[in-house]
Amino acid sequence: MRKERAAYVSSRLEEFYPQTPIPLDHTDPYTLLVAVLLSAQCTDKRVNLVTPGLFAKASTPQEMVKLSVEEINGVVRPCGLAPRKAEAIWKLSEIILTVHEGKVPATFEALEALPGVGHKTASVIMAQAFGVPAFPVDTHIHRLAQRWKLSPKGGTVPRVEKDLKKLFPREEWNVLHLRIIFCGREFCTARGCDGHICPICLHLNGPAKVAPGRPVAKRVKRD
């Protein structure tokens, strides 16, 4: 039963990750918004290497619009898709100033209207900056939800989000989406587990399907 699987997942992840620090370094909703935008098709580790240089130049929308798109692009280039991201950062900063009185809006509708901000990014901001229950679905969550049979294989991101929201209590969404990401990064990676290797997969999917010569993934010590 999916409900039973979900209960096991929630319990095991709470055991693994009692603390859920936000992976992207930031100081307020605005710097988080910029960092999340930069994280598209880029690792959080690389974003955290780039944002100190950007925020040293501009950590508020007021400061950001004083830079040119070319200046922003020069700093964020290591994150990939830099021209598009730089333009989006400048334009959303201008909109925050002119439409939202210099503050990052705290509604899904207003966030998703900003350049470069889709539903996942808006969900991250609502959850992590404003504490509003949301369930952002990234590649790790999409993969693990299907490996753990919480959502059908081949399902779209909206379908996975809908399924997970039904399975888990609303008050768990914000912490749980981070725990699933941590699990996906640590020992249930895209290539490191075929759905029957990591401890959670092994419990849910059964040991009989473990491929010969494939060891069960073990947790590594986290810094």
Catalytic residue among 138, 149, 162, 194: 138
Alpha-carbon span 65 to 57, nearest angstrom: 11
Q: Which residues contact 162 (CB under 8 A, 6 or more apart)?
A: none
Alpha-carbon span 201 to 194, nearest angstrom: 9
Helix axis angle for 44-57 and 29-38, nearest 10°, is 130
Number of H helices, E strands in the chain: 12, 0
Alpha-carbon span 199 to 107, nearest angstrom: 38
Three-state secondary structure string covering 159-181: HHHHHHHHHCCHHHHHHHHHHHH
163 is catalytic: no
25 is catalytic: no
Catalytic sites, residue numbers: 120, 138
